[in-house]
Amino acid sequence: MIGFIGLGIMGSRMAENLLSKGFDLVVHNRTKEKAQSLLDKGAQWADSPAEVARKADVVFTMLANPSIVEKIVFDKDGLFNGFSEGKLWVDCSTVDPAFSRKMAQEANSRGIRFLDAPVTGSKIPAEKAELVFLVGGKEEDMNEVRDMMNAMGKDISFQGENGMGASMKLVINLMLGQAMAVFSEAVALGEGMGLDREKVINTLLAGPTAAPALKGKKDKILQDEFSPEFPLVHLQKDLYLATKAGFENGVPMPIANVTKEIYALAKQSGLSEQDFSAISRFLSSKSAK
């Protein structure tokens, strides 16, 4: 039996893929309604993370941020109160490496095995089982859940000891967040100088200077439609975690620190739950006027 906790944009789709590929699933989510379609298709409901841990041999978590992971794990009804020795916890949430290493220590001290296994790919890749898992921990533990990861993704990339999966994920999202902000500022400049906005966007995306990942956001930006695939609040969290990791490892991060505050201002302006590509609206020279 596999456990899955955290049925948001990503987790709900990942769990659905496990279920559709024949794995037995027990699920829990703060908001139970989000589990309904999985329950209709045969997943079991657990009233608490502890109950998931009691029923499952392997538990995947896909939660908003480190403090929510901590709550789900350490609460009275948390994972650690249900796990017995030898079970495996796979945390797919995007967190920082120091946090993943702390979770590994806490788990190991209770006889529980732990993998940090954040993913690249957003809502649509999660739906199509095209995620890439970036894994930190013991290779033999990863091999034990290979079939499950293959049910949810297209690749599994082993990064090294615990914390290294989280490290690689932050490196990638650092690039993503900055690329979107830089792109948005360039479009704003084009607009401000009187160029046609659509032409600027198409020209940038057709050329070599725009990051390939931005192409997938073209329609959202052109249509000014930012229903969330990757909520801005989570990308701001990732930039914060990247700068925290920079501080902890003695790496100056001047550009990331500025970018993270741009996202913080966008969040404060009400764009928190919108897709992170809404940073283009925030930085648009039109909305600035």
Residue 218 engages ligand NAP in binding (rule: CB under 6 A) = no
Q: Can you tell me which of 3, 15, 19, 29 binds ligand NAP, judged by CB under 6 A?
A: 29
Give the count of residues interacting with ligand NAP (CB under 6 A): 26
Name the residue number minimizing CB distance to ligand NAP.
Answer: 8
Q: Can you tell me which of 3, 4, 6, 197 binds ligand NAP, judged by CB under 6 A?
A: 6
Residues 83-142 that bind ligand NAP (CB under 6 A): 93-94, 119, 122-123
Q: How far is the CB of 250 from ligand NAP (least distance, A)?
A: 25
Phi, psi of 5 (to 5 degrees): -125, 125
Task: Return the H-helix or E-strand segment holding 117.
Answer: none
**Residue span binding ligand NAP (CB under 6 A) among the ranges 1-9, 148-156, 160-168, 182-190:** 1-9
C-alpha 278/C-alpha 274 separation (Å) is 6
Q: Would you say the C-alpha torsion 34, 174, 252, 117 has a positive or negative sign? A: positive
Q: How far is the CB of 196 from ligand NAP (least distance, A)?
A: 30
C-alpha 198/C-alpha 204 separation (Å) is 10
**Which one of 87, 169, 220, 267 is the catalytic residue?**
169
What residues form DSSP beta bridges with 116? Answer: 91, 136
C-alpha 269/C-alpha 210 separation (Å) is 26
Amino acid at 52: V
Residue 34 engages ligand NAP in binding (rule: CB under 6 A) = yes
Q: Judged by CB, which is closer to ligand NAP: 141, or 238?
A: 238
Closest C-alpha among 99, 14, 125 to residue 62: 14
**Residue span binding ligand NAP (CB under 6 A) among the ranges 16-24, 139-147, 230-238, 249-257:** 230-238
Query: 209-223 burial string, b = 16+ CB within 10 Å, else e?
Result: ebeeebeebbebbee
Residues 171-210 that bind ligand NAP (CB under 6 A): none
Amino acid at 207: G
Q: Which two tokens stand for residue 85?
A: 């020795």
Residue 234 engages ligand NAP in binding (rule: CB under 6 A) = yes
Tell me whether residue 169 is one of the annotated catalytic residues: yes
Positions marked catalytic: 169
Binding stretches for ligand NAP (CB under 6 A)? 6-11, 29-31, 34, 62-65, 68, 71, 93-94, 119, 122-123, 229-231, 234, 238
